[in-house]
Amino acid sequence: MTNASTNMRLKLPIVCFILQIILIILFGVLVQYDHEVDAKEWHKHNHSDYDNDFYYRYPSFQDVHVMIFVGFGFLMTFLQRYGFSSVGFNFLIAAFAIQWATLMQGFFHGMHGGKIHIGVESMINADFCTGSVLISFGAVLGKTSPIQLLVMALFEVILFAVNEFILLSVLGAKDAGGSMTIHTFGAYFGLIVARVLYRPTLDKSKHRNSSVYHSDLFAMIGTIYLWMFWPSFNSAVTAHGDDQHRTALNTYYSLAACTLATYGMSALTAHDGKLDMVHIQNAALAGGVAAGTAGEMMLTPFGSMIVGFLAGIISVLGFKFLSPILEEKLKIQDTCGVHNLHGMPGILGAIVGAVTAAVASSDTYGEGMTDVFPDVANGDVDASFQGVRQAISLAVTLGMALLGGLLVGFIMKLPVFGAPPDTLCYEDSIYWEVPGAEEGHEDQLTTVVSPETEKLNG
Amino acid sequence: MTNASTNMRLKLPIVCFILQIILIILFGVLVQYDHEVDAKEWHKHNHSDYDNDFYYRYPSFQDVHVMIFVGFGFLMTFLQRYGFSSVGFNFLIAAFAIQWATLMQGFFHGMHGGKIHIGVESMINADFCTGSVLISFGAVLGKTSPIQLLVMALFEVILFAVNEFILLSVLGAKDAGGSMTIHTFGAYFGLIVARVLYRPTLDKSKHRNSSVYHSDLFAMIGTIYLWMFWPSFNSAVTAHGDDQHRTALNTYYSLAACTLATYGMSALTAHDGKLDMVHIQNAALAGGVAAGTAGEMMLTPFGSMIVGFLAGIISVLGFKFLSPILEEKLKIQDTCGVHNLHGMPGILGAIVGAVTAAVASSDTYGEGMTDVFPDVANGDVDASFQGVRQAISLAVTLGMALLGGLLVGFIMKLPVFGAPPDTLCYEDSIYWEVPGAEEGHEDQLTTVVSPETEKLNG
Amino acid sequence: MTNASTNMRLKLPIVCFILQIILIILFGVLVQYDHEVDAKEWHKHNHSDYDNDFYYRYPSFQDVHVMIFVGFGFLMTFLQRYGFSSVGFNFLIAAFAIQWATLMQGFFHGMHGGKIHIGVESMINADFCTGSVLISFGAVLGKTSPIQLLVMALFEVILFAVNEFILLSVLGAKDAGGSMTIHTFGAYFGLIVARVLYRPTLDKSKHRNSSVYHSDLFAMIGTIYLWMFWPSFNSAVTAHGDDQHRTALNTYYSLAACTLATYGMSALTAHDGKLDMVHIQNAALAGGVAAGTAGEMMLTPFGSMIVGFLAGIISVLGFKFLSPILEEKLKIQDTCGVHNLHGMPGILGAIVGAVTAAVASSDTYGEGMTDVFPDVANGDVDASFQGVRQAISLAVTLGMALLGGLLVGFIMKLPVFGAPPDTLCYEDSIYWEVPGAEEGHEDQLTTVVSPETEKLNG
């Protein structure tokens, strides 16, 4: 009866079609190719085709794209009965968010003569914004309908774009890899949404809130892709030349150090010394998050490795000790532990960025200062004030995420959006046609999920 | 007894070795490095090593390569007992086809002084041609022996090269992403082959012609990789500069719009509003197919999104309503639904390409017209006639595919090629050593497949 | 009792933390950005940001990175109960080895004024060295603790760097794709370690030393990624321009020919003509290994295909006939068959490289000789002597690998490192928290692994 609201037969098509048609209309009215994409504009100028920015951004874009669709999508397949939704809803909301983010980010910093100009750099930025939404998705994984997720994406993209505009354009902060704009924002936004959507009797679905052997292997596909391509993520939109090169290298070493810390901490915090897949799948990535702001700076490999090492330790400790507290005391049921992978490491990354900015000197950066800290190079501000800007940016991000998440969480709570009942969380079959698990076992599986499923179908 | 023909002990080695030895001899006689690959030729000229086309094509090549081997391979693993064959036969026929396509395509448009010159661009084109063969493979998946597939590849590559030559060189059509040359050709060729190979009692294997939970997740690996890298596919061989940039961007937005349409339509066409993995795995990709011809043109993001949106709708409707008709009325058993993913969206893409070409103006393209429509830029033809050429190209492609598929289908039907019996379609164990499904269940599984297997082994 | 040594609660954290802290200190003291990474240094010179080597190496780096972490990691998931360890230990030791290799390789050929200079090329080389360690891992897969593997990596990286220094800097050999430095070294090093760690009663774990259906599909993810990106691997550190282009192309055709040979041989050597996944997963890659030395030379596509074809044949024959002999007569239990994939094809590649070098002429190479054989171009040596150098390099590599493996094998044998007992080889649950296989089957699975597991936990 109440479950009728989870039937997506009309709701999902209506929402998808309305959103897509609005997007198409807005693109028709507002969006143009930028001068590197437009046939006429590009050929107006005298340059080699090899100078097109496509060749210096697109490989990074594709790596980021893999992180968004394979990385995030498969990382969340660890749940035993939620693989279709993890990959599939990830796919849906990302496909929506990249379009919507193009408009929102373009509105705030891509307008030229009343038109939004797009190209490979705006594609990367749209993917970045989408990453933030997917982080929030991780906090509510298994407890939301696809419509709730689209609603979340709709509002979160707007708030992301506003926050990004304040940080990068108003405050003049640097955050190429998005420790603040992407990770901190996405994590705390999602955590507050999870708080608002708190389910006191969620343990009715507890038996499904765990992995099985092969689901953990699918999740490792996500983990490894995120890990490998994080250097591309952090360096995708920095200035060209040494900046991209340095950011990729710093991230590479931060992640490597983080991985050893993660394995050590995972064994140390287990009563029998056995490694925990949850830690390996998530905490080993914290080094990429924590290098998101300072990665483009002269952090040095030495500094990068320290940052990664700390991020790994913090992240495992978070999974072990903080997540249970969040759930019991603060009533935040953080399915994927985004607080440990994106929240705390994001804050760590913001702080490292602020400190690294504050100690920047022309002695270290030389002429390269112009790319990394243009305002410092111009003499508009001194380095320590750049550090202050970075710190303020962290505070603004936390504030935006918390308030935004609160607001959007309440919107998402509207019954019409079709959230699953407490008895059918972490369960694909409520929104998907689900086949059996292995040949010869179909009956058995159907039995496992059937009592509620039948009611739904009835 | 009849089943003895499916024993590959001698047949497969003979076919593989003969084909490979012929390829080696033909390469020895006919093939040379082009001037960007040859040590002597490259160093004869005065240019920077950074100007080598390798740097401006190879990243796209690798993305295409991933689509061919991982994308197509894993997309077809959705069947519960056909994962080895899906990935494994895909691997085999692709490895053959890329070599054979190098020769055939080189023969038609890469000859220099009696030699075929090869480099990164010919590698991409060979992968493209292979993609067409793999599309046809999708139509007959589960019902053919590896030798039949090699025979199909042998002939299809020749016909692909002829058709491509007629379209691009004789008719002067544009089709960078292959809506016509790759998708329409591969789909209708495969569908006619499937018609010729029609099996009236295929329902003896019906219980295996479906997915299980984890096989659908493996298939999603294929889907997501195809989706992510389609912008690289469509832009891989366009002119450099704005053209590659624009094609990638158009495809990106076409796919995003297609995905929302797919999710909406999938829920709408299900009686209980539940999403169907078959739609998500396939129809969400139709936006890439449909942007294959017009992607390099000034389609605008607005136009791209409309095309993708329509492609998604058409594709889901095809799966829901047209595929059953094809099977029952036309006796075409299209295992992967290639008509819905490649056939109809390919035709849509060809039509969109013809219309977009017909309305091209120097007002829109400026000097960039030379890259996109050289004959129009030269004044040899006007834009509307370029549109006519595109439309004729579609007709030629359909004709070539239908006649070619008919011919090749009858060749493939020869009993000596070892097609599986109707009782053992969609089943790995006829051509592969197959282990159990999960530890502790080996006995059970063996029982499931053993009756026929034992006869075969006996 | 003895099993207490396999408890990693304290050992693994201590080892990980000590190693990582030493790495951080050594990086702090010794490592600097090179002039393409450092903000100040890069901007001292007058060049375009687009000339930064990042843009001409980083896409290759990322492909190599995928091979190391996804390729090697998933290739080894074929075992039914060792997927966590395969991907997870691969991840751990690779994360350690890339840092340690940066130092060791930098010490031997990256020192500038007492500092090790690093950038994208050193990152590729560090990944290469790591690949060698992972090959050795394949030989001992399932029979070692993570600490033993870290100990192996610690010493093997040093010996790899010494051997690489002797070959490339002292002997003046060419080995861009590492047929000798990476594959031959890694394989024979690992085989000797496996010999030293010989377990006479390993058949107590025999029932776990095999695949299940889905584990073979996971392994195919590794195979296909290795296969697709091998052209990038072999060309990643060659000279720019025609050299990278040619190496990638040669490897592409070598792999394609190898694949057909593999399928043919796999069917031919099976008593019932059925394909064996072990062959497909491994032997189809031998063409990449065998093109590792000569790939950058003017091998021609014709030559490359012959090399690949032979490599595939040798490799399948090795799996079929040589591996059982190695185990029974030489007491080498080579879990992944690295002798067949890396050992013999590596030697073949070294020989092909020596012969191809010996016949190099300025007639063929023109001015390009300077990039491929600088000493021949300079007139310091003639081509035939370059061939001799290559042959000596193979002998040196074999000697270093055998002696090094012997030494390191005995170190790894120390009981304190916590090797698994013979009854618990090829089993994740000894070092990992392992969930059930499928919902509803947890109890059953726990029963399967519980007798020993309980003792361990007790």
pLDDT at C443 over 50: no
Q: Is C330 on the interface with B (CB under 8 A)?
A: no
CB atoms within 10 A of CB B261: 29
Contact C265, C324 (CB under 8 A): no
Q: What is the mean pLDDT of residues C242-248?
A: 98
Residue A110 has a pLDDT of 75
Q: Measure CB to CB from residue C264 to each of B7, B13, B221 and give the nearest one.
A: B13
Separation between Cα atoms, residue B255 and residue B226, nearest integer Å: 11
Separation between Cα atoms, residue A341 and residue A183, nearest integer Å: 9
Residues of B in contact with C220 (CB under 8 A): 73, 87-88
Convert the pLDDT of each residue in C400-432 to its tens digit: 999 999 999 999 999 999 999 999 999 999 999
Look at residue A32 and give its three-state secondary structure: strand
Q: Please, what's the largest Cα pairwise distance for chain C?
A: 73
Q: Is C54 on the interface with A (CB under 8 A)?
A: yes
Q: Cβ separation of C437 and A267 shorter than 8 Å?
A: no
Residue C17 has a pLDDT of 98
Residues of C in contact with A265 (CB under 8 A): 13
Residue B3 has a pLDDT of 58
Q: Point out the least confidently predicted range of B3-17, B198-212, C444-458.
A: C444-458
Residue A440 has a pLDDT of 41
Convert the pLDDT of each residue in A278-325 to its tens digit: 999 999 999 999 999 999 999 999 999 999 999 999 999 999 999 999
pLDDT at B1 over 70: no
| Separation in Å, CA of A81 to nearest CA in chain C | 8
Q: What is the mean pLDDT of residues B9-35?
A: 97
Going by pLDDT thresholds of 50, 70 and 90, the confidence category of residue C241 is very high
pLDDT at A386 over 50: yes
pLDDT at C115 over 90: yes
Q: Cβ separation of B84 and C217 shorter than 8 Å?
A: yes
Chain B residue closest in CA terms to A69: B224
Residue B111 has a pLDDT of 87
Residue A441 has a pLDDT of 39
* CA-to-CA separations, B229 to A456, B127, B292, in angstroms, rounded: 38, 14, 13
DSSP state of C238: S
Look at residue B296 and give its three-state secondary structure: helix
Alpha carbon C101 to its chain centroid, in Å, reads 13
Q: What is the mean pLDDT of residues A254-268?
A: 98
Burial C382-401 (b: 16+ CB within 10 A, else e): ebeebbbbbbebbebbbebb
Convert the pLDDT of each residue in A151-176 to its tens digit: 999 999 999 999 999 999 999 999 99
Residue B110 has a pLDDT of 75
Residue C181 has a pLDDT of 98
Give the neighbours of chain C: at least 3 Cβ pairs within 8 Å. Answer: A, B
Separation between Cα atoms, residue A436 and residue A312, nearest integer Å: 38
Residue A285 has a pLDDT of 98
Most confident range (mean pLDDT) of A439-443, A450-454, B76-80, B444-448 is B76-80
Residue with token string 């999602």: A190
Q: Is C140 on the interface with B (CB under 8 A)?
A: no
Look up the pTM and report it: 0.95
Length of chain B: 458
Residue A452 has a pLDDT of 40
Separation between Cα atoms, residue A381 and residue A388, nearest integer Å: 11
Q: Which of C171, C188, C31, C51 has its CA nearest to residue C98?
A: C31
pLDDT at B437 over 80: no
Residue C442 has a pLDDT of 37
pLDDT at C325 over 80: yes
Convert the pLDDT of each residue in B216-240 to its tens digit: 999 999 999 999 999 999 999 999 9
pLDDT at A448 over 80: no
Q: Determine the Cα angle at C33 with ends C31 and C37, to 5°.
A: 165
Beta carbons within 8 Å of B314's beta carbon, 6+ residues apart:
B286, B340, B344, B345, B348
Contact A240, A246 (CB under 8 A): no
Residue B142 has a pLDDT of 98
Q: What is the mean pLDDT of residues C181-210?
A: 97
Chain C residue closest in CA terms to A61: C59
Average predicted confidence (pLDDT) for chain B: 94
CB atoms within 10 A of CB A328: 9
Q: What is the mean pLDDT of residues A215-239?
A: 98
Q: Point out the least confidently predicted range of A354-358, B20-24, B450-454, C272-276.
A: B450-454
| Separation in Å, CA of C227 to nearest CA in chain A | 17
Q: Cβ separation of C54 and A438 shorter than 8 Å?
A: no
| Separation in Å, CA of C400 to nearest CA in chain B | 33
Residue B457 has a pLDDT of 39
CB atoms within 10 A of CB A378: 10
CB atoms within 10 A of CB B242: 30
Residue with token string 């889901």: B316
Residue C437 has a pLDDT of 60
pLDDT at C439 over 60: no
In terms of Cβ atoms closer than 10 Å to its own Cβ (0-12, 13-18, 19+), residue C32 is buried
Q: Which of C213, C264, C212, C260 has its CA nearest to residue C81?
A: C212
| Separation in Å, CA of B296 to nearest CA in chain C | 24
Residue with token string 């790995």: B428
In sequence order, the β-bridge partners of residue A115 are A112
pLDDT at A370 over 60: yes
Q: Cβ separation of C91 and A369 shorter than 8 Å?
A: no
ipTM of the complex: 0.95
Percent over 70 (pLDDT), chain A: 95
**Per-residue tokens: C435:** 């969930």
**Per-residue tokens: B257:** 């719009």
> Between residues 81 and 120 of chain C, which touch chain A (CB distance below 8 Å)?
83-84, 87-88, 91-92, 95-96, 98-99, 118-120
Residue C208 has a pLDDT of 96
Q: Is C274 on the interface with B (CB under 8 A)?
A: yes
Separation between Cα atoms, residue B246 and residue C265, nearest integer Å: 46
Residue B171 has a pLDDT of 97
Positive or negative, the Cα torsion across C200, C204, C209, C210? positive
Q: Is C206 on the interface with A (CB under 8 A)?
A: no
Which residue type sits at A451? Answer: P
Convert the pLDDT of each residue in B316-329 to its tens digit: 999 999 999 999 99
Q: Cβ separation of A70 and B212 shorter than 8 Å?
A: no
Look at residue A115 and give its three-state secondary structure: strand
Give the β-pairing of A111-112 and A115-118.
antiparallel
Give the neighbours of chain B: at least 3 Cβ pairs within 8 Å. Answer: A, C
Residue A437 has a pLDDT of 61
Q: What is the mean pLDDT of residues A254-263?
A: 98
Percent over 70 (pLDDT), chain C: 95
Residue B46 has a pLDDT of 85
Percent over 90 (pLDDT), chain C: 92
In terms of Cβ atoms closer than 10 Å to its own Cβ (0-12, 13-18, 19+), residue B367 is middle
pLDDT at B282 over 90: yes
Q: DSSP states of A301-366 as a string?
A: HHHHHHHHHHHHHHHHHIIIIIHHHHHHTS----TT-HIIIIIHHHHHHHHHHHHHHHT--HHHHG
Q: What is the mean pLDDT of residues A47-64?
A: 97
Note the helical H segments in A112-212.
120-140, 146-164, 185-196
Which residue type sits at C378? Answer: N
CB atoms within 10 A of CB B10: 11
pLDDT at B456 over 80: no
Q: What is the mean pLDDT of residues B97-119?
A: 94
Q: Cβ separation of A275 and C457 shorter than 8 Å?
A: no
Average predicted confidence (pLDDT) for chain C: 94
pLDDT at B444 over 60: no
Convert the pLDDT of each residue in A284-293 to its tens digit: 999 999 999 9
Convert the pLDDT of each residue in C370-386 to its tens digit: 999 999 999 999 999 99
Residues of A in contact with C10 (CB under 8 A): 268, 273
Convert the pLDDT of each residue in A191-217 to its tens digit: 999 999 999 999 999 999 999 999 999
Look at residue B179 and give its three-state secondary structure: helix
Beta carbons within 8 Å of B371's beta carbon, 6+ residues apart:
A39, B238, B239, B241, B242, B243
| Separation in Å, CA of C77 to nearest CA in chain A | 9
Q: What is the mean pLDDT of residues B302-317?
A: 98
Q: Is B9 on the interface with C (CB under 8 A)?
A: yes
Separation between Cα atoms, residue A81 and residue A207, nearest integer Å: 10
Residue with token string 């992640």: A255
Residue B276 has a pLDDT of 98
pLDDT at A457 over 70: no
pLDDT at C156 over 80: yes
Residues of C in contact with A220 (CB under 8 A): 73, 87-88
Q: Cβ separation of C260 and B434 shorter than 8 Å?
A: no
Torsion of CA C325, C328, C334, C335, to 10 degrees: 110
Going by pLDDT thresholds of 50, 70 and 90, the confidence category of residue A402 is very high
Residues of A in contact with B283 (CB under 8 A): none
Going by pLDDT thresholds of 50, 70 and 90, the confidence category of residue C448 is very low
